[in-house]
Amino acid sequence: MKKTLSIINFELKSLNRFYIWWNIAWISMILLIVPFYSSISEESEKFGELYENLPEGIRVAFSLDANTLSTIEGFINTELVELLVLATSILGLYFGARSIQREINNKSLLFLVTKPVSRFSIFFGKAKAVLISSFFANAVLFGFVYFAAEIMTTETISLLYVVSSFLVIMLYLFLYYSLGLMLGVLREGGSALGVGVVAVISTFMFNIVSNLSDKADFLKYLTPYYYLDLKTVINDNVGINLFNYFIILSITVTFFIIGYLIFKNKDIDT
């Protein structure tokens, strides 16, 4: 138990240092973006006309609608959260791919496995550290989003949207963290991150293509964007279907299990 806590504490120190700078960067962006909402919302009718004049393919591909900039939730989602989703996905991959592979490369994993610490404790101890650190970091970030919107605009932002955004970001992080972790123990060297980034870009492109053509509509089911679509919260003030959360969680758990089984039976070279 003490050995496991030592692993978690060691990882937390590194993660917390990173997340301090990560949050500073995103909070700075929030402070730059949110004040513009008031002036943009005043011109919402003109923006609505502009969107109507855009080619249908562009509006459909990028899911643009009347609420994209005319509501505080749509504005924050378009200008901040969508970018945060992409950045968090890549971050999750990075955390996962380097989690075990880094220890293998610098031989510290060999030291750990020769001690009375199970591979289960090593594998999931690192995952627990990421969960704890990212939970508090994102809670602070979305808490700041809520209060910034309340203080810096005349609108009242939906608490449902803020909470849903927090859950979505956490799920994206752990979906791609588990994928990166699996690839990290499966592939040698730094290729795991490259393969993971290709997966992120591919699912992003699948999402766009599925919106452009009915024939390609099936592609949306292969992307997390379909299951974690915040537009339903923005447009209908209804939370994301629990079944969608279950699907993403199931895929995440599957990646974790596969990654652990590979790691459990992996030979650690001296």
CA dist 19 and 33 (Å) reads: 21
Instruction: List, for residues 185-243, the tens digit of each pLDDT value.
Output: 887 656 778 888 899 999 988 888 887 777 888 888 999 999 999 988 998 889 999 99
Q: Concatenate the DSSP letters of all residues of 52-85 into one string.
A: HHS-HHHHHHTT--THHHHSHHHHHIIIIIHHHH
Amino acid letter, residue 38:
S
Residue 15 included in any domain: yes
Domain ranges, residue 14: 2-264
Residue 269 lies in a domain: no
Tell whether 111 is covered by a domain: yes
Q: Would the pLDDT of 64 be above 60?
A: no
Residue 136 lies in a domain: yes
**Which of 210 and 249 is assigned the larger pLDDT?**
249
Looking at per-residue confidence, does 133 or 49 come out higher? Answer: 133
CA dist., res. 251 & res. 270, Å (int): 33
- Residue 220 domain flag: yes
Q: For the chain, give the percent of residues with pLDDT over 90.
A: 51
Q: Tell whether 181 is covered by a domain.
A: yes
- pLDDT of 269 strictly over 70: no
Question: Looking at residue 122, what is its pLDDT?
Answer: 82
Q: Do 167 and 190 contact (CB within 8 A), yes or no?
A: no
Q: Is 9 helix (H, G, I), strand (E, B) or coil?
A: helix
Name the helix (H) or strand (E) containing 263. helix 242-264
| Domains held by the chain: number | 1
Residue 270 lies in a domain: no
Q: Which pLDDT value is given to residue 4?
A: 63
Tell whether 212 is covered by a domain. yes
pLDDT at 193: 81
Say what the pTM is. 0.89
Residue with more model confidence, 85 or 266: 85
The answer to whether 170 touches 146, Cβ cutoff 8 Å, is no
**What's the pLDDT tens digit per position in 148-173?**
999 999 889 999 999 999 999 999 99
Lowest mean pLDDT among 36-45, 74-83, 232-241: 36-45
Q: What is the overall mean pLDDT for the chain?
A: 85
